[in-house]
Structure formats: C-alpha cells, structure tokens
Amino acid sequence: MSTRVLVVSDNEVLIDKLTHSVLNAHGDSLDITCVPRLAEAITRLKAHDDIQALLLDWDLPGARGFEALLALTNAAPQLPLVVLGNDRDLAQQMNLVRHGAEDYLLYSRIDAETLLNKVHKSIARKAREGVLFNNKERAQVTLDSIGDAVLSTDRAWRVTFLNPMAEKFLAWSYTEAAGRHLSEVFPVIDAATRELLVPQLEMEIGNGRTVLLPPNCVLVRRDGKELSIEDSAAPIRDQNGNISGAVIVFRDVSETRAMTERMAHLAEHDILTSLPNRALLDDRLDQGIALAKRHGRRLAILFVDLDHFKHINDSLGHLIGDQLLKAVAQRITPCIRTSDTVSRQGGDEFIVLLSEVVKAEDAGLIAEKIRLAVIAPYSIANHHLHLSASIGVSVYPEDGADSESLIRSADTAMYHAKEKGRNNSQFFRTEMNVHAVERQTITGDLRHALARDEFILEYQPKINLLTGAIAGVEALIRWRHPSRGVLYPIQFIPIAEDCGLIIPIGRWALREACTQAQSWLVKGLEFGTMAVNISAVEFRSDQFFDGVCSILESTGLPPEYLELELTETAVMRNFESTGLVLQALSAMHVRIAVDDFGTGYSNLSYLKRFPINSLKLDKSFVHDIANSPNVATIVRSVIRMGQNLNLRVVAEGIETEQQLKFLRAQECAEGQGHYFSKSVPGTECESLLRARALHWTWQFRPLALQRSK
Ligand code: C2E
Ligand code: MG
Ligand code: MG
C-alpha cells in the first residue's frame, strides 16, 4: 500500500520534481497530494484522516517557518512533518526540528530514495514517540493517584522522585526532598530495637535484591510522628542491566496494625478482666508441659472457683458482680510470678498455671496465698462484700500427662474443696475421680427424682426437756434412689445446691411438711411446731418468701405451726434483705430457728437484730459434753445466753442419758436425738404423737415433779 503524503508548497519547480522524478521511480509507494496554501492544507487535513505524513515548504508565501509548523501540528499533532527548504535557510530548518518537526530535507538533496527514506523514518519515529508519551503519561497519572507512596533514588541514594502520597506521608515536598539522602527523607527503624533500617535496605538493593522491611518497622516522620508502614523496595536498572537507583513503595498500616493487635489480644484475653483466656492458657500450658518434660520438672494448676458468687450477681446485679470479678483478678495476679499465668474461664472460675514448682507443697502455699488474698473484704459501689474461694490443685506429671487431664484433676480437687465446706484448697487425689464420676451421675439422677416421686420426709420429734412431752417435729428429707437405696441429705443436698435443684426440692419438702402438719392438726394431734430445714440457697432466692406464703395458703396450715431452720451462714449473708424477709415471716408468726448453732459465724449481734425464736445447739457440742470440760462450758454459756436473750435452746443429737442429764441440769429447754427417737416416717411419727410422749415421761418424772408448781 502506498503512503499518503500531503505537500504544502506553491513552488512549481519543487512540485514538479516531487511528482515527476519521485513518482517515476517509485510510482506506487507514495501517493502525493499538493496544496499551495496553508489554509487549504488545514482544510484537507480536517477532511481526510488518511494522510500519513506532511511535507512543508519552508518558503511558503504568507506563512513562513514556525507559523506554518505550529498551524499544522495543531491541526494534526499525530502526523510527522518534514521541512523542505534551500541551503540558505538550513539553520532555521534545524530549529524547526527542535520544535516539533521530525526531519528536514534540502531542495538540492531531493531524490526519490532520500525522500522515501525520510518519510518512512519520520512516520516510524512519530509512532514511537506516541507510544512513549502515552506510557509516560499513564505512569504519571498512576503514580499521582495511587494510595501507595512511591519514592525513588539515584545510585547514590539521593531522592529523585516522590509521588503526592509520599509527600504526604513523609511530610516532605518533592522540591525540598529532591537530592537529599534517603535516610534523611525516609528514616525507617525497627520498632523493637529502634535501629535504623536504611543501611540494610541500601545493601540489599545494592546487591540487586528486592527488599521487604520487617513487619514491625516504623517510619519516623519529619515532624517526629511515628507511622507503622509496610514497604517494598526494588532496584532500578538501566538498559544495560546496571543498577541506577531504587524505587520504594510503602503505605501507612498504623490502623491495620493496631486493629490486628487488638484482634489478637481479644482472641486470647478475657474482655472483662484482660486476663488470658482459656485458649491462651492452653497454649502456655502445652508449652509448659513440653518444657517440664524436657527438663524433668514439675508444674501445677490451681483451679480457683469463687464461693457463692452467683448469689452476689443475682442479688446485687451484674455490674457489681463484674467489678468484683475484676477486683478478684487484681488480687490473684500479684500472688504469682510473671512467668506464671492467671486466666479467667468465664463465670467465677480462674485457672492459674504455675510453670515451675519444685515440690507439690509449693503449689499448696500459692493456693493458700490466693485464698487469703480473695477473702479480704471488698468495697464496691458502697457495698462491703465478702467472698471466699475453693481451690483445687493438680501437679504435672503426677495428676495428668496433658493439659486437659491436668485441668480436669484440678477441677475435681476444687469440687472437693467445695464439699469440705468451701473456702479451702485441696490437692488432687486419684480416688477423687471416682467421687467426681459419682457426683455427676447423682446430679443426673437428681433431675428426675422429683418427677418420679423419689423423695420422702421423715420426722424426728423434739422433746421438752422439762416435761418430756413432744414439743415439735423436724422434717428430714430422704431420697429413695432406684438403685442406691435410701440416700441421706449429706449425699445429695450439696449437689442439689450447686446445680440449683435445691429450689424445687426445698419447695417440695416445705409443701409436704405443711400438708402433713395440717393433716395432724385436722386429726387433733398435738405436734407443737413443724420444723423444716431451709438451705441458704433457697433462702436467698427471690421467690422464697412468696413461696412460703403460697404453700401456707394452699395447705391451710396456720403459720404459727411452721418453724423454719436456717443455718448461721444463711442468716448472715446479706444483712439487709435477710432482715426484711425474717421480719415479714415473723409478722405472720412463722417461727425461726438457727440450726447448727456454734459451728459458723462468731459475731452474735444478729441474734438481737433478727426476730429469732430458737437456737439449735449443734450435735457436735452435745456429743462432747461428757469428754471435754471446755465443751461443757461452751454448752453451759450458750444455754445461759439463750435464756438471757429469751431464745429457746434446742440441743441436737442427744444419744445418752448422761448428755440428757447434763442438759436438763443446765435447764436446756428442748432436745432432740436418737436417745428419744430417730427420724421416722409420717405414719410412725403419728403413733408417737398419739402415745402423747408416754415413752419418755418416766425419765422426766423426778425432775418434772421437782419443778412442777
Ligand atoms: P440438721 O437440720 O442439723 O438435722 C439434724 C441431723 O442430725 C439429721 O440428719 C438427723 O437425722 C441427725 N440426728 C438426729 N438425732 C441424732 C443423734 O442422736 N445422733 C446423730 N449422730 N445424728 C442425729 P439428716 O437427716 O442426715 O440431715 C442432715 C442435714 O441435712 C440436716 O441437718 C439439714 O441441715 C439437712 N436437711 C435435712 N432435710 C432437709 C431438707 O428438707 N431441706 C434442706 N434444705 N436440708 C435438709
Ligand atoms: Mg435442722
Ligand atoms: Mg442441725
């Protein structure tokens, strides 16, 4: 195909030369059109877009040189232009080439070969320029608009380029930064060691390698502000492959890095206390076990469970509960070394990992330290709170070879601490496992016991020690377990308290006892009062008071026949609400007894404060009356104190005549125990009531006669 060329010239000789000599030689390779004036040329360029090159006569009338060049390149900037002229104007022609013409050709040199050559070369060169221009333009736009900062240097690490993002991050404008050394404009350091990383960067790039800076690197900006950055740097090579500089691309990752750190922390820590969570504990425990194994050392796990924490949460609300948990966390932490780990398992459970213990007893000492730290009083939002902890201890390798079994052993030991009355610590022993399994099955069975009607009440009479008459009966629960036989309260009440089943079970017992009492009343049997044991957990539940009222109402038992037996610990917790409930019960004439008196709380001020009717002296005192003068003194003073405070004292667990004699001599009001009767089923108790205590009256006669007026 021939190349279309537009010639702008009115020079007849020239035109002739072009059209004839050239066309004769290469007729089909050039397609020449001639126009004499600039205006015509422009019109034509606009009309025909198939023209591929322009030949401009320097000597054009009315529009010489520059003017013509400008007009044509404006009209068709993409077309190559070759200037034609005579030798005289050579200098100007060369000047035109510097300002946009592709080439020049002297009239005298025009021949077919040269012309063709110049036209084709000009077309090719123009095309190359176009591509280059486009590429450069695109690169510039890209660099200006990308979110990454780009910096480049020459071989001597002097800054040669900054894109707008780099100017912003570095707080250097390009004009200020140009020519300065890289380390001045781009001082990146290792966040941990604060060591300048630029020399390392220069060395790597100098060796022709692409470099990624370490993930914790920080850019210290000109204004002193530190930015976490992510960066990659690569050498720039010239066409011979030699390194001619470097290009560094970086971005601000402060936010991302902070977010990542936060996420990592959250994934491994408890939100409330900021202590490590179970996942992190497991990790550290696995590492600890591996180390202990390698070095033949021990480690220990302490399973710390707060006692009755749920009650505080339920009665004072979660906000206070949460603050209390934080306070506990702060108390436990200083009890251990920094190499150890305290973690929170959620709820009121904490697990402590002691990563190195020489002998098992050391773990016991730390457990004791923690127990004492937890027990000191707390003051939270104007509440004075008391808390205790039950702690189970397991030791590697004796109590488990892996993290799971070690924690399980500590958990089992913790349950034992609970059973031993809470507020103590216990080491794991193998036989505990058997016990733990048993406990689990009992919990499972307990869930069905009520529905399957497996509970019964037995009744034990309380005797007036002056007259020998039955002064009351105490209802005692038993569980006729389908496979284990009869279970006594000690075997299942603590479990029922822990799993919350005590509430429905206690309610059942209260209803059953009231029903029995009411039926005796209807039969005209004098039983005194019906005493029912109430667990601290029941007493503290919100529905307790309403429950008592509704049971009295539905069974029809007049409230003055009901006596509730509460332990000292149940009464002592939460003074305010206890007072209100006891006042309300007493206003209805329900009687209140303090059970197991002498075994719990030492501050007796509550006896004056609360409407209490009787004290039940714990059977452990009665048991020791004869063999310990100290105990005898205590019993004597309790009876005396009861008389002074106008409280009936009931001695529990009277088994011998000797004990009875002592108690009568001290004028103890009532007694209860195997000496008179064990607890018996309702029907049997009914017979006792019908016999009107004839069984015992002979024993009381002398004293009774002596006393009777
Ligand atoms: P408690 O209220 O102190 O009851 C007295 C316990 O002493 C009863 O044990 C009774 O059988 C026993 N006992 C009576 N006389 C003698 C004696 O002469 N010698 C000896 N060694 N023991 C005697 P039990 O029935 O095993 O009850 C144990 C505890 O379980 C009770 O102590 C009470 O705190 C609790 N309990 C019993 N029934 C219920 C119930 O329905 N609800 C709740 N929440 N607790 C109950
Ligand atoms: Mg009792
Ligand atoms: Mg008792």
Residue pLDDT, tens place only, 611-657:
999 999 999 999 999 888 888 998 999 999 999 989 999 999 999 99
Which atom of ligand 1 lies nearest, measured to the CA of 672? 15
Name the band, by pLDDT with cuts 50, 70 and 90, for residue 703: very low
620 lines ligand 1 (CB under 6 A): no
Q: Which ligand is closest in space to the CA of residue 513?
A: 1
Taking residue 94's Cβ as centre, other Cβ atoms within 10 Å add up to: 12
**Does residue 450 carry a pLDDT above 90?**
yes
Which string of b and e fits 417-442 if b means at least 16 CB within 10 Å?
bbbeebbbbbbbeeebeeebeebeeb
| Cβ atoms 218, 188 nearer than 8 A | yes
Residue 91 or residue 506, greater confidence:
506
Separation between Cα atoms, residue 657 and residue 209, nearest integer Å: 101
105 lines ligand 1 (CB under 6 A): no
Q: How far is the CA of 476 from the centre of ligand 1 (A)?
A: 6
Three-state helix/strand/coil letters over 55-106? EEECCCCCCCHHHHHHHHHHHCCCCCEEEEECHHHHHHHHHHHHCCCCEEEE
Q: How far is the CA of 565 from the centre of ligand 2 (A)?
A: 6
What tokens were used for 73? 């390149």
674 lines ligand 1 (CB under 6 A): yes
Q: How far is the CA of 457 from the centre of ligand 1 (A)?
A: 11
Three-state helix/strand/coil letters over 639-692? HHHHHHCCCEEEECCCCCHHHHHHHHHCCCCEECCCCCCCCEEHHHHHHHHHCC
Peptide bond preceding 397: is omega within 30 degrees of 0, i.e. cis? yes
**CA-to-CA dists, residue 444 to 14, 430, 483, 486, 487, angstroms:** 116, 23, 13, 17, 15
Helical (H) or strand (E) element with 113: helix 112-145
What tokens were used for 456? 């019964």
| Residue 194 identity | R
Shortest-distance Cα residue to atom 22 of ligand 1: 653
488 lines ligand 1 (CB under 6 A): yes
Asked which of 75-89, 146-160, 634-648 is least confident by mean pLDDT, the reply is 75-89
Could you give the residue ranges of the DSSP H alpha helices within 573-656?
Answer: 575-587, 606-609, 619-624, 629-644
**Does residue 695 carry a pLDDT above 60?**
no
- Helix axis angle for 657-665 and 694-707, nearest 10°, is 30
Shortest-distance Cα residue to atom 46 of ligand 1: 533
Q: How far is the CA of 600 from the centre of ligand 1 (A)?
A: 16
- E strands within 267-338? 298-306
Residues 6+ apart with CB under 8 A from 441: none
493 lines ligand 1 (CB under 6 A): yes
565 lines ligand 1 (CB under 6 A): yes
DSSP 3-state of 426: strand
Which atom of ligand 1 lies nearest, measured to the CA of 513? 41
Question: Can you give the pLDDT at residue 237?
Answer: 87
Residue 564 or residue 317, greater confidence:
564
623 lines ligand 1 (CB under 6 A): no
Separation between Cα atoms, residue 172 and residue 220, nearest integer Å: 12
| Cβ atoms 471, 672 nearer than 8 A | no
**Does residue 516 carry a pLDDT above 70?**
yes
- Average pLDDT of the chain is 88
Which atom of ligand 1 lies nearest, measured to the CA of 675? 18
Separation between Cα atoms, residue 375 and residue 378, nearest integer Å: 9
496 lines ligand 1 (CB under 6 A): no
Q: Which ligand is closest in space to the CA of residue 593?
A: 2
List pLDDT tens digits, range 261-296: 888 888 889 989 999 999 899 999 999 999 999 988
Q: How far is the CA of 559 from the centre of ligand 2 (A)?
A: 18
Separation between Cα atoms, residue 519 and residue 513, nearest integer Å: 10
Write the DSSP assignment of 140-182 as a string of letters.
HHHHHH-SSEEEEEETT-BEEEE-HHHHHHHT--HHHHTTSBH
Which atom of ligand 1 lies nearest, measured to the CA of 655? 18
460 lines ligand 1 (CB under 6 A): yes
List pLDDT tens digits, range 289-298: 999 999 889 9
Shortest-distance Cα residue to atom 45 of ligand 1: 533
- Of all residues in the chain, the percent with pLDDT exceeding 70 is 95
Residue 51 or residue 474, greater confidence:
474
Asked which of 214-218, 493-497, 554-558, 665-669 is least confident by mean pLDDT, the reply is 214-218
Ligand 1 site-directed mutation target among 419, 476, 539, most atoms within 8 Å of CB: 476
677 lines ligand 1 (CB under 6 A): no
619 lines ligand 1 (CB under 6 A): yes
Q: Which ligand is closest in space to the CA of residue 477?
A: 1
659 lines ligand 1 (CB under 6 A): no
Separation between Cα atoms, residue 101 and residue 57, nearest integer Å: 12
Winning range, highest mean pLDDT, from 221-225, 310-314, 604-608: 221-225
**Mean per-residue pLDDT, 666-683:** 95
Which string of b and e fits 129-145 if b means at least 16 CB within 10 Å?
eeeeeeeeeeeeeebee
| Residue 567 identity | T
Q: Which ligand is closest in space to the CA of residue 503?
A: 1
Name the band, by pLDDT with cuts 50, 70 and 90, for residue 700: low
Query: Would you give the DSSP letter of residue 597?
Result: E
**Does residue 708 carry a pLDDT above 50?**
no
Separation between Cα atoms, residue 343 and residue 332, nearest integer Å: 10
Q: How far is the CA of 474 from the centre of ligand 2 (A)?
A: 7
Ligand 1 site-directed mutation target among 462, 533, 657, most atoms within 8 Å of CB: 533
533 lines ligand 1 (CB under 6 A): yes
**Does residue 376 carry a pLDDT above 50?**
yes
Helix (H), strand (E) counts: the chain: 29, 29
Say which residue the tokens 């709820």 belong to.
347
**Nearest one of 558, 559, 551, 563 to 591, comparing CA atoms:** 563
List pLDDT tens digits, range 109-134: 887 788 888 888 888 888 888 788 77
Q: How far is the CA of 700 from the centre of ligand 3 (A)?
A: 24
Phi, psi of 231 (to 5 degrees): -150, 150
Taking residue 618's Cβ as centre, other Cβ atoms within 10 Å add up to: 20
Say which residue the tokens 């740097």 belong to.
233
Helical (H) or strand (E) element with 530: strand 529-533
Separation between Cα atoms, residue 383 and residue 406, nearest integer Å: 37
**Nearest one of 15, 48, 61, 14 to 34, comparing CA atoms:** 15
Ligand 1 site-directed mutation target among 652, 657, 674, 679, most atoms within 8 Å of CB: 652
Reported as half-sphere exposure (CB side, CA atoms, 13 A), residue 271 has a value of 2
Q: Is 607 exposed, middle or buried (0-12, 13-18, 19+ CB in 10 A)?
A: middle
523 lines ligand 1 (CB under 6 A): no
427 has which bridge partners?
393
Separation between Cα atoms, residue 242 and residue 591, nearest integer Å: 103
List pLDDT tens digits, range 16-44: 887 776 666 665 677 888 888 888 888 88
